[in-house]
Amino acid sequence: MTAIEATEVSKRYGTVVALDRVDLTVPEGEIFGFLGPNGAGKSTFINVLLDFATPSDGSVEIFGHDCHAEGVAARERIGVLPEGYSVFERRTGRQHIEYAIESKDADDDPAEILDRVGLDPTDAEREASDYSKGMAQRLVLGMALVGEPDLLLLDEPTTGLDPNGAAEMRDIIREENERGATVFFSSHILEQVEAVCDRVGILQDGELVAVDTIEGLRESLGGGTKLVITVDDLRNGTVETVRGVQGVETAVEREDSTLEVTCTNDAKMDILVELHDAGVDVVNFRTEEASLEDMFIEYTGSGR
């Protein structure tokens, strides 16, 4: 069964095209990472799934139910961590979880859910409006987990979390997936996605520019070799010199006179020759497998 099926979905706000003919199929059981820089249209897509926004064209289904025409059925088996969710005033963390249990007609144990998302019993009895951003994020995740949903929709779930919190979030995503849930989550932070996703989609200016496994994305970038080159003196024009070499996909400056370059395998020697000819001394040189971040830069064109 297909968890999410988007067919030619567009969403326009006046002259802004937030989504541009997005086609996407997420099969049941997958962890799918929805990546893109801020403003790419990720929240808009999730809002269309939740029927908070109506597509200008095209349609989206969740488990075969149209998100707009059959919204209630589509949302019946989902847990949501929306963007910018604000907690209720004068209600404790525990009361939030109890509210979610009641409204989903579920029978979860609130203490168990709170413990899972890392809120201790003392926190649970505090008013959630006094929570830090990270605690509120944990609480809302807890609410999403209520009722063992078949699909978890998480919009930037690691917002406000420290690295430990983000790692715990990834553990929960994996556990939920092992239980059988499909997980669809958006992020503009690449490491969050690389560690946990089966497949990723890269959204740029409303267009889905790539959908693949991380391995597949690597391969489609000509082997995705990354070179880290340290030179004696990174002068004006050096980056441009490297970018001019055939087979170079991206070249960005890093600290300490270092360049990071993604390129085809064949281009490596040409880059070194070109630098030598330009009078630039190479102090150090190593190759790495391209990370998701390099691919992201390649697809979205940022860093150029």
- Interface pick for ligand ADP out of 24, 33, 36, 271 (rule CB under 6 A): 36
- Interface pick for ligand ADP out of 13, 109, 237, 253 (rule CB under 6 A): 13
Contact between 154 and ligand ADP (CB under 6 A)? no
* Cα 118 to Cα 115: distance, rounded to the nearest angstrom: 5
Contact between 43 and ligand ADP (CB under 6 A)? yes
* Cα 79 to Cα 116: distance, rounded to the nearest angstrom: 15
Helix (H) or strand (E) holding 59, with range, is: strand 57-62
Helix (H) or strand (E) holding 27, with range, is: strand 16-27
Helix (H) or strand (E) holding 4, with range, is: strand 2-13
Of 56 and 287, the one with the shorter C-beta distance to ligand ADP is 56
* Cα 266 to Cα 222: distance, rounded to the nearest angstrom: 10
Contact between 38 and ligand ADP (CB under 6 A)? yes
Q: What angle do CA 268, 269, 274 make, to 5 degrees?
A: 105
Least gap, CB of 155 to ligand ADP (angstroms): 7
Of 13 and 88, the one with the shorter C-beta distance to ligand ADP is 13
Of 17 and 106, the one with the shorter C-beta distance to ligand ADP is 17
Site stretch for ligand ADP (CB under 6 A), options 39-47, 113-121, 130-138, 296-304: 39-47
Contact between 300 and ligand ADP (CB under 6 A)? no
Of 33 and 93, the one with the shorter C-beta distance to ligand ADP is 33
Contact between 40 and ligand ADP (CB under 6 A)? yes
Least gap, CB of 273 to ligand ADP (angstroms): 41
Q: How far is CA 161 from CA 98, 117, 156, 172, 275, in A?
A: 23, 12, 11, 14, 42
- Interface pick for ligand ADP out of 7, 21, 30, 39 (rule CB under 6 A): 39
Count CB neighbours of 114 within 10 A: 21
As a dihedral over the C-alpha atoms of residue 291, residue 296, residue 299, residue 302, rounded to 10 degrees, the angle is -120
Site stretch for ligand ADP (CB under 6 A), options 42-50, 145-153, 220-228, 251-259: 42-50
Number of residues that bind ligand ADP (CB under 6 A): 11
* Cα 70 to Cα 64: distance, rounded to the nearest angstrom: 10
- Provide the binding-site residues for ligand ADP, judged by CB under 6 A: 13, 16, 18, 36, 38-44
